[in-house]
A and B are shown apart, each in its own frame.
Chain A
Amino acid sequence: MSDREKFPELIDRFNNGELKGDELTAFLSILKTNPRLREEVRLDSELNEILANGDILELRQKILLIQKRRKRRKGPDLHFFLLAASLLLLIGIETFLFTNNTNHSPSKNSILIPRHQQQSKQVPVSGKVERPVIAMKSVKKGKRILDLKTEKRLAANFRENPSFENMIGSTRYAGNFRMDAPIIGYRFSETAEIRFEWILDGQTEIELKVMDNTGINIHESGLLSKNKYSLPPGTLKRGIYYFKVMQNDEIIFFGKFFVK
Chain B
Amino acid sequence: MIYFSDDAILKGLKEKRADSIRYLYREYFPLAKSIVEKNSGTYEDAEDVFQDGIIVLYQKILSGPLTLNCSLKTFFFSICRNIWMQRLDRKWRLLYQDDLVSESIEDYDAIPIEINEEKLEKTRLYQLHFLSLPADCQKILKMFLSRASLKEISECMGFKDVSYAKTRKYLCKNMLRKKILKDPRYKMFLHYE
Binding site for B on A (CB under 8 A): 8-9, 11-12, 35-36, 38-40, 42-44, 46-48, 50-52, 54-64, 66-67, 70
Contacts and interface: CB of A to CB of B under 8 A. Distances in A.
Contact of B55 (A39, A48, A60): A60
Given A58-B16, A63-B54, 5 more contacts: A39-B191, A40-B177, A46-B126, A60-B131, A66-B21
From DSSP, what is the main secondary structure of chain B's interface residues?
helix
**Which size class do B's interface residues fall under?**
35 or more
A40 B171 contact: no
Nearest to B174: A8
B22 interface: yes
A42 B122 CA distance: 13
Contacts of A55: 16, 58, 62
B123 interface: yes
Nearest to A63: B51
B170 A8 contact: yes
B145 interface: yes
Contacts, number: 94
Q: Which of A46, A51, A55, A66 has the most CB of B within 10 A?
A: A51
Contacts of B126: 46-47, 50-51
Contact of B192 (A35, A58, A60, A62): A35
Contacts of B169: 12
B188 to A, nearest CB: 13
A39 B170 contact: no
8 contacts: A11-B173, A35-B193, A40-B181, A47-B173, A48-B145, A51-B141, A59-B16, A67-B47
A46 B145 CA distance: 12
Contacts of B128: 60, 64
B142 A66 contact: no
A214 B127 CA distance: 79
Contacts of B22: 66
